[in-house]
Structure 1
Amino acid sequence: MPRCVIAEDESLLREALLQQLSLAWPELEIAAACDDGGSALEAIATHQPDVVFLDIRMPGLSGLEVAAAMTEVSPHSQIVFVTAYNQYAIDAFEKGAVDYLLKPITQDRLLATVKRLQMRALTGAIDLQAVSALVRQLSGGPADVPKPAPLVWITASVGTETRLIMVDDIAYFQADSKYTVVMTAEGESLLRKPIRDLLQVLDNSMFKQIHRSTIVNLRAIASISRDDSGKGLVRLKTRPETLSVSQPFMVLFRNM
């Protein structure tokens, strides 16, 4: 049975796509349905799916960043971008080797996409160079939605005390159930916000996800090494502990 991974951060759209796929492609097995780019990348590396449906705009890693990593992490997976992008992106898709679905997704369009995916699976041909070229083109194109200004400071709790912490002083964030542990040189604080919400407001040029539960400040990194299994190890400038980088995320560091 063919397998797929779905990555869509909006729960209603994700559930709708699952239902539509069950009708358009009944034999397709859903290996994972993810709500952010980091968990999607790890699911893709684990399951090696035949097809990946990627929302372009997601918290943390975008669909484009996940697709760029996939050329090494899961090179045989076909990609379908799910997008509400403008005409610039549509023109790029039409010339590329990657399929796309426009939001809101219609069943007719999905059926046509499924047929193309099935035909490409028979040929076994995935043009990785064309995928990489398309990702680069889309990454450098005009954005249709302006991004909000990145977070500058946060308030976090230490016991009964509430502290104001400048974001630049944070070494890393670590998920802790529905909350997030904030680590600075002085120690840890507790932020009453899940790590997934932080991914949407941090400066993604300086704060990088290295695991589905960890975001690190690039300014705080002293070194990155790799063990024999391909996993990474981050050493920090101001903290004694080391942080693990899951294997799929090492690809993103190599491309930086």
Structure 2
Amino acid sequence: MRIAIVEDNQAEMERLCSHFDRYQREYQQKFELVWFDNGLKFLEAFNHNFDVIYLDVQMPLMDGMTLATKIREIDRTIPLIFVTNYVQYAIDGYKVDASDFLLKPVNYFNFCEHFKRIEDRFKQQEDAIAVTYSEGIVKILLDELYYVESNAHIILYHVFSNGAEKVLETSDTMKNVEQKLADYNFYRCNNSFIVNLKHVAGISGNDVLIADTKLPISRPRKKAFMNALTEYMGMGDK
């Protein structure tokens, strides 16, 4: 887990880092901590490349609330945690959908209780991928991604949500997409389609049935595809 700490007071930063160090030893976790001593430096470095952000509220150049507002213009979902001397800032934190607040000086017991809540939040999040398309960047829940189609140099993501299909078009290669989805029970049935094994309704001859659509299974890929499907369904060799 990659964590940003935006804190101008080095002693407070070191205190928080010591809690992370103790926590990862006690709970067999692994953290990468990156410290920024002001908000402007953080904004220059931020590119959806952190899992959690800890923000001091009172900082020079840019205060924590202003920084949080700017972060929310870029990323609406990343957990923001305010670390502050003043409990009244909690009210303002709701405006930027803060995940939690830690009151300085942060003791280890309060830190543990807090971070267990953060871990629970991550466990509850659904698997998703970020896809860049014509209108920007969108998060696709993998449970709603039924299959991916390749048409020349265009990739089409077939997403089904609330009974309706939405097709997102982007420029990519099937090889890249296949690698991105490799750990999530997606499998390639021919050169043009990668399907979500969870949503396979059946096999009819040389076709796989998914979302009321028949997709061809190529002869060279059929054996491997069928093995992957039976293994996913729990019918493979134990």
Q: TM-score, normalised by structure 1?
A: 0.43
Q: TM-score, normalised by structure 2?
A: 0.46
Q: Which has the higher contact order (CA 8 A, sep 6+)?
A: 1
Larger Rg: 2
